[in-house]
Amino acid sequence: MQTEEPALTRLRVIRWMQLLTPLMLAWFVWAAATTEPGFGPTGSRLAVVLATAGFVVGVFGRNATATLPIRPPHVAFVGAMLVSSVTLVAVQPGGPGSVAVLVAVLCAATGLMSVRVAVPVLITAFVLLEAVATIAGQDFGFLAVLAGFAVLFGSLYLAFRLAEAQRETKRLLAELQAGQAALAEAAVLAERQRLAREMHDVLAHSLSGLSLQLEGARMLIAEDPADPRLPVVVDRAHHLARAGLQEARRAIGLLRDDELPGPDRLAELAEQFTRDQAVPCDFAMTGEPHPLGSQARLALYRVAQEALTNVIKHASPTRVSLRLAYESTATRLIVEDFAAERPVIPDETDGYGLTGMRERAELLGGTLTAGATGQGFRVVLAVPA
């Protein structure tokens, strides 16, 4: 309701102005006819008749084209009002010509000029007309009528300005709502990407290891169902499945703001890798630990987890090194594997591992580099301190 009140007010003002226009024109014609020299077929009387008629036609023409874009007919009608009103002042100094000039200037200013130009023009015109009327000896009643016309048409001008301000407000409100909708959509997409990274990291780590252990168990069963190594492989597979389920629950816990894994669990992650893959994975930490944000802590853990998953998928290492360095400007994580044979280099198109790791780093304003070394493959994550 509050947003509709300015529009209703503007419509009421316009309706009143439309009703008053014939009455004001009737007064104008009456004043021009009864003031010397009045109406007549010749000389100055004929000039008064023509000027009065030109002004009336200009007013009706201007009102008919006021709602249309500025075009030559509209400009011509306003011009006719100006010319006829000035002519009436010249041939009938004591008549309503001054009022007509003020009305014409108001129409020209409100319809053909910018606000910065229109306001000074209106004020100047009113002051000059009042001065001319005073010098010409017009009585107080005429000056009051002149002031009344100025107030009346000024009110109309303010009503239209109010309508323009309302339209601008609605436009800005629509843009604001569109911007808020875009931000909400971006937030939803960011949340989807975050959850996709979490579930990928969890499932890739646990299911890759589980797949390898089950493949080993299948091969052992095919060779010798009584192989004493079979229970160990099955136990590893069971442990990986249970650990993967726990990690999935932790990832879902992100929606509930549960405690997230961080650097304090990297040593446990290295021990788990050694136990499940039967490959030594040593963990070392250097520097003085300093506080990190929840997302930075999570990124360090998930990148280490994903890097170890890539080691399982793409290499046959003899050992793996996991190092965490607290530096003055950054916290650096290094995951490196050492293999007797040349490892398979992970491809960006092979799943979303390296892509997800880089996205995590970029969201934190950090960097992630990955590449082959002379003895294996190294992943380095640096997040701002």
* CA dist list (Å): 186 to 117, 181, 189, 191: 44, 9, 5, 9
Render pLDDT for 196-212 as a digit per residue (tens, 0 to 9). 666 666 666 566 667 67
Q: Which phi-psi region, left, alpha or beta, contains residue 365 (left: φ > 0; alpha: ψ -120 to 50)?
A: left
Render pLDDT for 291-313 as a digit per residue (tens, 0 to 9). 888 888 888 998 998 888 888 77
pLDDT of residue 192: 66
* CA dist list (Å): 120 to 106, 112, 126: 11, 14, 10
Question: Would the pTM of this model clear 0.75, i.e. be above it?
Answer: no
Neighbour count for residue 227 (Cβ, 10 Å): 15
- List the one residue out of 241, 189, 172, 246 whose CA is nearest residue 210: 241
Render pLDDT for 159-195 as a digit per residue (tens, 0 to 9). 666 767 777 888 888 888 888 777 767 766 766 666 6
Angle between helices 140-223 and 230-252 (to 10 degrees): 170
Render pLDDT for 86-138 as a digit per residue (tens, 0 to 9). 898 888 877 777 778 777 777 776 665 555 555 566 666 666 666 666 665 55
**Interstrand relation of 281-286 and 330-339 (parallel, antiparallel or unpaired):** unpaired
Taking a C-beta distance cutoff of 8 angstroms, is the pair 46, 40 a contact?
A: yes
Q: Does 351 score more than 50 pLDDT?
A: no
